[in-house]
Amino acid sequence: MPLAFTRAVSPRIVDCALTHLDRQAIDPILAMEQHAAYERALGDAGFIVHRFEYLAEDPDAVFEQFKQFVAERLPPGATVEIAGGTRTPGIEVNLESPWVHAAQTALADEFGKPAVMIGSGGSIPVVTSMGTVLGIDTILMGFGLDDDQVHSPNEKFEQRCFHRGIRSHIRLLAKFAGG
């Protein structure tokens, strides 16, 4: 039988908001109910569902939990070695930072409407290092579209988005310079 790995709904889901719609808070109870229904649907489709519990998003803990899961399912006499590439904890951007405010202003100037602040997941280890090693804040601004199919064989990035990104960064640098 195929396996499906899921994670428990993070208690931090209350800090998120729905995107692609008018901004609205996420109902954590509804999110947990929907997640449970998703897991039941996986089971109904023939998957063995294994839920990893919430681990405060500690990448080392998640990796160890995965290794334990695999080891517990090995047939007698079998061994496995799982090499762990890089693991980086998540960051949380300070929305009250003057740098974030400058970015919001630059984006609003370019796009003619307020910037939407979206919490998202990803894996860019240098972002964490810039904060922990260099002690500087990082601003991540996205200019892609929902249909860009990021990291797929037919990924795209539209030229108009590229140009608006350039102009937004020019505006941001001018704000940093006091303009």
Domain count of the fold of the chain: 2
Residue-level pLDDT at 15: 67
CA dist., res. 133 & res. 70, Å (int): 34
- Phi–psi pair at 10, nearest 5 degrees: -70, 140
The boundaries of the domain holding residue 102 are 98-176
Answer with the residue of higher pLDDT: 28 or 107.
107
Reported as a single tens digit per residue, the pLDDT across 123-176 is: 777 888 888 788 888 888 889 888 998 888 999 999 999 999 999 999 999 999
C-alpha closest to that of 29 among 40, 14, 41: 14
Kindly report the pTM of this predicted structure. 0.60
Residue 14 counted as domain residue: yes
Residue 155 counted as domain residue: yes
- Residues 83-103, mean pLDDT to the nearest whole number: 82
CA dist., res. 92 & res. 80, Å (int): 35
Answer with the residue of higher pLDDT: 86 or 177.
177
Residue 53 has pLDDT above 80, yes or no: no
CA–CA–CA angle 20, 130, 134 (5° rounding): 150
The pLDDT mean for the chain works out to: 83
Residue 75 counted as domain residue: no
**105 shares its domain with 172:** yes
Residue 37 counted as domain residue: yes
**104 shares its domain with 170:** yes
CA dist., res. 92 & res. 122, Å (int): 12
Residue-level pLDDT at 17: 53
Residue 35 counted as domain residue: yes
